[in-house]
Amino acid sequence: MKTMLTNLARTIGSNLQYSFIYRVIQEISRTDSYTLRQKVQKKLGSEEAMTPIAVFESIREYYITRGINDESIAEQLLKIPKWIGYRPVFGNSGYAGDEVFIAAKNSALATLWLAAIPNVTVSRTALPGEYREQDVETLVSKIIHSPTTRREISLLLNIEFERRGMNPSDFAIEGILDGFEANSEISNNRRPILFSLFIMISTCLELDLDQILILDEKNLARQTASFIYAKQTMEFIRSTIQGSDKKTPFDWPIVGSRKICNHIFSYLDTLRDFATDAHACKTFETVFQDQSMKMTEIDFIMLLLDMICDHYEGIMESKKGRGKQEDLQNFIKFIRGERGRIAQEVIGSDERGVILYNQLQELKRRAKAGHKPYVSPEKKYRDSLNALELRVKMRRSGKTDGKELVKDVSPVFDAITEIINKNKDILREDTDQFTEALCFETCFRILEYLDLGHLIMDLPWVCRFIAEEAVKGYTMMGIYDVMSEEHRTERIVAAFMGGITYLVLQSNK
Amino acid sequence: MYVPEERVLRLVEIQESVLPEEEWIIGVSDLGYFKGVGFSMPLAFGEDPFDEEDLLMVEGDDKHFQLINKGDKILHPVERTEIDDDPLLEYATNMELEVISSSDSIERDGVHPDILDEYDLVVSMEQDLSKGNLYAFLPGLFYCSSHHASVDAILVEVTQRDIFGMTLPSFRPEDVRSFDVSKGIVVDEEGKTKTVEMSTDTLGKFTIDISSEIAESAMEIAGEVTSMGEVTGTQEIEVALALADRIPVQDLKEAYVSGAILAGKLMTLMHDIETKGLRLRNRIYVRNERFPNGKIISVNYGILHSIIELCSRPGIDCPQEVDLGMELRRLSFTRLVGAGKEVDVEEAILDLFRLLQQEFGSNATKDQILRLLFSGGNQ
């Protein structure tokens, strides 16, 4: 038992040593209250604005957003004490003494330490199947259990840090609630939950708070460990596909090998195990007729195919401007269009890796031979909408990059244009109205995924405003057939795409 | 949609298509009156929800429109007329004579269908109308682009059609928008946005230079492009990204009201008000199954006529579309401003017109109109 933890400490030490978060941690522990005071004053503007509560909150926010790259994760981390039922002790007036600075510093430090845990506890050389042997569960249970066990862990880690000659900055997580007080006695009993929440949220997986609040300590440790394992396994699969310097198994025109595909499937099974264990995790759920349920094996295989597509899209992006990548482009379209079919074929066989490899080979051959993928527009629409939903979930919508959003959304709207064009003969005079209705519904679904359903009322006029400005733009480009009959559908669809892009981007600000 | 708590006139725009060149309607209305758009169900025939007294009573503190007062002597002769006084039914009386005369001829000519008597006629018309139509209703002074005319109210029948599993409604509340802003946004020479008062000078000044910037960069990417087919969709995305970059969603409405296209519509509306004055247009815009593309219908307001001609009765009347008149007369809406009550099309139109006159006076200039429309928004 002891050696297990010592090994873990070694892993943590070696992973942490050169990480960004550790640099921020060091920076915080080096900063003294005087420098900090000056920094805060600069940020808040004046001496008067420096009330204890403002100082406390701005320091916490400053360090946590600095240490955590993902804004939405940082935001959630800041809110955890409130969720669990704690509030800052400091008042809204008076002088912010040193105790405020120290409390804020301690609390920020502890938050960053806990946030680092998911990324550093699993050894880079271990395979997903071996993760459980590393016994992160014990580490977590010691972290959440009591001050005594936490001290035990601190001691162990500090010895390790010292041995590595890392600048002494103590692993101190006891101060997580410095400067906070409990709203009621119940909150105090929830301390273990508080500690695990910090770790769980830092895994970037979505979670169901209600399910977590009712867990007992033993299950809590198990859940938290599963979250870490699941996250690491996802990373592992991604980096396997990505490859390293020497081995790039999926570097176009290579589409993997039997061996690597088999390996990936074993990792995928492990991921499924972890995902089943982490039942408070919402990332691995699909919504079907408003009911969320666990992802099935098919869903996981489709997820894998998505990751592979993402990888190839990255390659295509990096090769942009160096000749046409038509075969690669078609290859990606083939996979995206036939995800469901491939998953079905794979699942029914004993040699899943081999089948997947053969399928990829086959698609490559078709793409190379100049086959154009034919996917019916309706299917494309359905698939691209599902893919979009999945991506939105994976990315957690924190801060959306405009270009990336457009890339995700445009297949959906392209499919709409195709559907309309295909059915123009039947729709006839209803074409425009049908297009608008379909776009409207689609936008509503997208907004709903992002919890932005209330923006739907503004959608029509925002879209039209964009259409108006776009007309001016086209005219300035020297295009004079902007308003011709034949481009109406495209323009309606484009207006909605612009509108939804604007609304989603703005709502994140 | 912005729904004010009190009675206040606001600029209201109705457009169903996202394409700017499509039909639009713009006008001045009070969305507080029905708390949004008014929705109706037809009354069953013969039911009379309007208390006579109530219908003829005009709430009365304004000077311009004091036509009728409760207790005025002329009022009492104006009884609600019996159904057989309806101009439409007048000939029915004559038919009765025909029935009598024709019954003589049965023996000679054999059996043939009886000519309907008055009751049958009413029943058959009622059956014709009893499809249970739901109308969306917006009283106010509106200008309709496709007919180049101003009207006193907009009435759209709400129907739904299903095509390929999609529901296409004839009317969506999202297509009606009012502008609860008091300022506009323009872009200055340096490309910075700033808020300005709305006036005839600042109208349409939000031409975002974004467009030209984008056009240039897009041209660089696309090279010489002359046809739309090659570049569809690119501008919309660029505009969306640029807007998202510069204008927060809560300010977008202000940019929108300062945009050139809205300015064009607004100027048309104000020009109409300025030249024709602020009086009833005696026309309404109706869109229903019979007029799927919308039609402007001339109407008479019975309550106004009843003063001049003692024989006519209150209620809206369409001389050219008689049965439409019957249909519209049967609609009733729940007024939600003040003490709520049921009103009919005519009463709502006149109520709103009274407010218009009160606020604008009878000959308002463009700037006065603008100032009123963009005063005391929620900013």
Pairing between strand B25-29 and A285-288?
unpaired
Asked whether the beta carbons of residue B239 and residue A473 sit closer than 8 angstroms, the reply is yes
| Nearest of A172, A281, A157 to residue A229 by alpha carbon | A281
Chain segment B110-133, per-residue pLDDT in tens: 555 555 455 565 555 555 555 557
Q: What value, to the nearest 5°, has the Cα angle with vertex A326 and ends A325 and A328?
A: 70
Question: Are B57 and B38 contacting, i.e. CB atoms less than 8 angstroms apart?
Answer: no
Nearest by CB to A430, which of B163, B172, B208? B163
The complex's ipTM works out to 0.73
Element at B161 (helix H, strand E): strand B160-163
Whether B116 and chain A come into contact, CB under 8 Å, resolves to: no
Whether B304 and chain A come into contact, CB under 8 Å, resolves to: no
Pairing between strand B295-298 and B283-287?
antiparallel
Q: Which long-range contacts (CB under 8 A, 24 or more apart) does A57-65 make?
A: A57/A88, A57/A104, A59/A101, A59/A104, A59/A105, A59/A108, A60/A104, A60/A107, A60/A108, A60/A111, A62/A108, A63/A24, A63/A28, A63/A105, A63/A108, A63/A109, A63/A112, A64/A108, A64/A111, A64/A112, A64/A115
Using the structure block, give the residue that is written with the tokens 């499919």: A415
Confidence of residue B308 (pLDDT cuts 50, 70, 90): low
* Maximum C-alpha span of chain B: 95
3-state class (DSSP) for residue A503: helix
Q: In terms of pLDDT, which residue wins out, B102 or B254?
A: B254
Q: Residue ranges of the domains in chain A?
A: 2-202, 234-368, 394-507
Give contacts of B245 with chain A, Cβ < 8 Å.
Answer: 402
Residues A12 and A117: their CA atoms lie apart, in Å, by: 8
Q: Residue ranges of the domains in chain B?
A: 10-80+130-181+263-373, 183-261
Question: Are A445 and A409 contacting, i.e. CB atoms less than 8 angstroms apart?
Answer: no
Sequence-ordered alpha helix ranges (H) in B27-89: 52-56
- If you ran DSSP here, which 8-state letter would residue A207 be given? B
| Nearest of B164, B199, B170 to residue B184 by alpha carbon | B199
> pLDDT 10s per residue in chain A (509 long)?
567 888 888 888 888 888 888 888 888 888 888 888 888 888 888 777 788 888 898 899 988 988 888 888 899 999 898 888 888 888 888 787 888 888 998 899 899 999 998 888 888 888 888 888 888 888 899 898 888 998 888 888 888 888 888 876 678 888 888 888 888 887 778 888 989 999 999 988 888 888 888 888 888 899 899 999 999 999 899 888 888 777 788 887 788 888 888 888 899 999 998 888 888 888 888 766 667 778 888 888 888 888 888 888 888 888 777 666 778 888 888 888 888 888 888 887 888 888 888 888 888 888 877 766 666 778 888 888 888 887 776 665 456 677 788 888 888 998 899 888 888 888 888 888 889 999 999 999 888 888 888 888 889 999 989 988 888 878 877 777 777 788 888 899 999 999 999 998 887 76
* Crossing angle for the helix pair A488-507 and A402-427, to the nearest 10 degrees: 150
In the numeric block, which tokens belong to residue B188?
């200055």
Asked whether the beta carbons of residue B244 and residue A502 sit closer than 8 angstroms, the reply is yes
* Closest chain A residue to B216, measured at CA: A477
Asked whether the beta carbons of residue A479 and residue B174 sit closer than 8 angstroms, the reply is no
Give contacts of B173 with chain A, Cβ < 8 Å.
Answer: 457
Predicted confidence at residue A176, as pLDDT, reads 87
Give contacts of B257 with chain A, Cβ < 8 Å.
Answer: none
Residues A506 and A402: their CA atoms lie apart, in Å, by: 10
Give contacts of A494 with chain B, Cβ < 8 Å.
Answer: 232-233, 235-237
Residues B183 and B197: their CA atoms lie apart, in Å, by: 5
Residues A93 and A82: their CA atoms lie apart, in Å, by: 21
Whether A450 and chain B come into contact, CB under 8 Å, resolves to: no
Which of B24, B221, B236, B241 to probe by mutation at the A interface, max A CB count within 10 Å?
A: B236
Chain segment B63-86, per-residue pLDDT in tens: 444 444 444 444 444 444 444 455
Pairing between strand B176-178 and B166-169?
unpaired
Using the structure block, give the residue that is written with the tokens 């070696």: A14
Asked whether the beta carbons of residue A506 and residue B249 sit closer than 8 angstroms, the reply is yes
Chain segment B26-49, per-residue pLDDT in tens: 999 988 888 888 888 665 544 444
Which of B3, B13, B16, B18 to probe by mutation at the A interface, max A CB count within 10 Å?
A: B18
Whether B378 and chain A come into contact, CB under 8 Å, resolves to: no
Backbone angles phi, psi at B342, to 5 degrees: -80, 135
Predicted confidence at residue A448, as pLDDT, reads 86
| Nearest of B339, B243, B281 to residue B153 by alpha carbon | B281
| Nearest of A60, A43, A56 to residue A95 by alpha carbon | A56
Asked whether the beta carbons of residue B236 and residue A495 sit closer than 8 angstroms, the reply is yes
Residues 72-111 of A with CB under 8 A from B: none
Number of helices followed by number of strands (H, E) in chain B: 12, 17
Whether B249 and chain A come into contact, CB under 8 Å, resolves to: yes
Whether B166 and chain A come into contact, CB under 8 Å, resolves to: yes
Whether B232 and chain A come into contact, CB under 8 Å, resolves to: yes
Asked whether the beta carbons of residue B241 and residue A503 sit closer than 8 angstroms, the reply is no
Residues B62 and B71: their CA atoms lie apart, in Å, by: 17
How close does chain B come to A184, measured CA to CA in Å?
39
Nearest by CB to B175, which of A430, A460, A478? A460
Whether B261 and chain A come into contact, CB under 8 Å, resolves to: yes
**CA dihedral sign of residues A110, A111, A113, A114:** positive
Q: What is the 3-state secondary structure (H, E, C) of A422-472?
A: HHHHHHHHHHHHHHHHHHHHHHHHHHHHCCCHHHHHHHHHHHHHHHHHHHH
Residue B298 pairs with which residues in a beta bridge? B283
| Nearest of B144, B135, B141, B136 to residue B153 by alpha carbon | B141
3-state class (DSSP) for residue B144: strand
Whether A340 and chain B come into contact, CB under 8 Å, resolves to: no
- If you ran DSSP here, which 8-state letter would residue B83 be given? G
Sequence-ordered alpha helix ranges (H) in A164-216: 185-189, 191-202, 209-213
* Closest chain B residue to A507, measured at CA: B249
The backbone region for B204, taken as left when phi is positive above 0, alpha when psi lies in -120 to 50, beta otherwise, is left
Residues B238 and A100: their CA atoms lie apart, in Å, by: 47
Give contacts of B215 with chain A, Cβ < 8 Å.
Answer: 473-474, 476-477
Sequence-ordered alpha helix ranges (H) in chain B: 52-56, 90-103, 106-109, 118-129, 210-222, 234-246, 249-257, 260-276, 302-308, 322-329, 345-360, 366-373
Asked whether the beta carbons of residue B233 and residue A494 sit closer than 8 angstroms, the reply is yes
In the numeric block, which tokens belong to residue A399?
């801060």
Whether B75 and chain A come into contact, CB under 8 Å, resolves to: no
Asked whether the beta carbons of residue A491 and residue B19 sit closer than 8 angstroms, the reply is yes
- If you ran DSSP here, which 8-state letter would residue B15 be given? -
C-alpha distance from residue B13 to each of B189, B201, B282 (Å): 30, 21, 21
Asked whether the beta carbons of residue A436 and residue B21 sit closer than 8 angstroms, the reply is no
B4-18 b/e (C-beta count within 10 Å ≥ 16 → b): beebbbbbbbbbbbb
Other C-beta atoms lying within 10 Å of the C-beta of residue A100: 26
Question: Are A259 and A266 contacting, i.e. CB atoms less than 8 angstroms apart?
Answer: no
B74: CB partners within 8 A, 6+ apart:
B68, B307, B310
